[in-house]
Amino acid sequence: MYYPINAYRKIQLEAPYHALTNAGHISYVELDGDTAKNVDAFESIIRCMKEAGIGYGSVNHPVDRDPICGYTGVIDDVCPRCGRHEGEGISMEKLDELRKRYPGVPHFAGKT
Ligand SMILES: [Zn+2]
């Protein structure tokens, strides 16, 4: 369920309740962009949580996974590891090359 609210405003509204709920509390902020591309904004949100008195805070953000090459992160149009678009295939030569460079590349049945 989404509610349109600015991350800083949400933190300011929820923070006072953290002092009142000593049995447990958490505030979440959900971002729709790649936090690695705007580290300053990410840090700003964390600092806002600290200064507002958030006892336990979390920042959720999108994480994609390419099932072919195993890349985990935000994938826009093209996978940064293998260079394929969603729905495209990949050559066995390229897959073998990726397996040598990245140990997490999945293996598929039928290929040894
Ligand atoms: Zn990939």
pLDDT band at 110 (very low <50, low <70, confident <90, very high): low
Rounded-to-integer distance, Cα 101 and Cα 82, Å: 11
- Euclidean distance between CA atoms 28 and 84, whole angstroms: 33
pTM: 0.70
The predicted structure's pLDDT at residue 24: 92
Mean pLDDT, all residues of the chain: 91
User: Are the beta carbons of 29 and 45 closer than 8 angstroms?
Assistant: yes
pLDDT at 35: 87
For range 57-69, the mean pLDDT: 93
Ligand 1 center–CA 61 separation, angstroms? 19
How do residues 1-46 score in pLDDT, each as one tens digit?
778 899 999 999 999 999 999 899 999 999 888 888 899 999 999 9
pLDDT at 111 over 60: no
Ligand 1 centre distance from Cα of residue 109 (Å): 18
Q: If you measure from the C-alpha of residue 21 to the centroid of ligand 1, how many angstroms do you get, rounded to a whole number? A: 44
Query: Which residue, 15, 33, 26, is CA-closest to 75?
Result: 33
Write out the residues surrounding ion ligand 1, Cβ under 5 A: 66, 69, 71, 79, 81-82
Average pLDDT on 54-61 reads 94
Place of tokens 């979440």: 28
Backbone angles phi, psi at 100, to 5 degrees: -70, -35
